[in-house]
Structure 1
Amino acid sequence: MSETRELDATSVEGLPRANGELVFEQPWESRAFGLAAALADQGLFTWKDFQDGLIAEVAADDSQPGEYRYYERWLGALEGLLLERGVVSVADIDDRADVLCHRPAGHDHRHEHDHEH
């Protein structure tokens, strides 16, 4: 069993859950979760390496009470690990974030339907 398979087990501690199911407040959170799992599954890093980074990220969190967002820490741990491994640079992350921040709403949702964006 690969290390990422542990991710699917109900015994994984710390992940936000409701009725045993993972909970994501925003679509990007599930994408960050899936990206970390896929990269670990591909052998880019071990799940333990990611968990260690996440623990350090949570410990360093200086959010005020009520501001804490688990998946922001998750993303920080993933970015840190990818930077450490030389997979991406700070400029790569900044450039990609800039592109994503300037996309119009519904940019990747192109079909006819009756709801607004």
Structure 2
Amino acid sequence: MTLPVRLDVDSPAAPPRSNGELVFAEPWEGRAFGLAVAASEAGVFAWEDFRRALIARIAARPEARYYLCWFEALEQVLAVEGQVRERAALLAGRPAGHDHTMER
């Protein structure tokens, strides 16, 4: 897979790797990774803004798991006027087995 964004390999923002491959300890980590890449590619935010937010999160909490910092940085760059929390609440309230369509 060729990523549309440049992933640092030697910076504080470098994702965990094993034998050069990205490593995700849990499924949600891979989903958070993909969401950030897709949102940046779609022009929702600039990758550099995300990268700076990620580095700041890691510096503030070096003991935290990498992808927890990743997710928090993603929340930060997406949090515009509470839209993320509003949409999350709307999605969380949907019944299991929904048809994946979204009405506003």
TM-score for the superposition, normalised by structure 1: 0.64
Equivalent residue letter for 1:78: L
In the TM superposition, structure 1's runs of 4+ consecutive aligned residues that sit over 3 Å from their partners are: 89-93
2: CA distance, partners of 1:30 / 1:6? 17
Aligned residue runs from structure 1 range 1-117, under 5 A: 4-7=4-7, 12-13=9-10, 14-61=14-61, 63=63, 68-83=64-79, 85-86=80-81, 88-93=83-88, 95=89, 99=92
- The SS at the match of 1:6 is coil
Listed as ranges, the gaps of 5+ residues in structure 2 are: 98-104
**Residue correspondences, number:** 91
Structure of higher CA gyration radius: 1
SS where residue 5 of structure 1 aligns? coil
Aligned-CA RMSD value:
2.9
Amino acid at match of 1:47: W
SS, match of residue 45 in structure 1: coil
Gaps of 5+ in 1: 108-117
Distance in 2 between residues matched to 1:39 and 1:87, nearest whole Å: 17
Q: Tell me if the contact between 1:58 and 1:73 (Cα under 8 Å) persists in the aligned partners.
A: yes
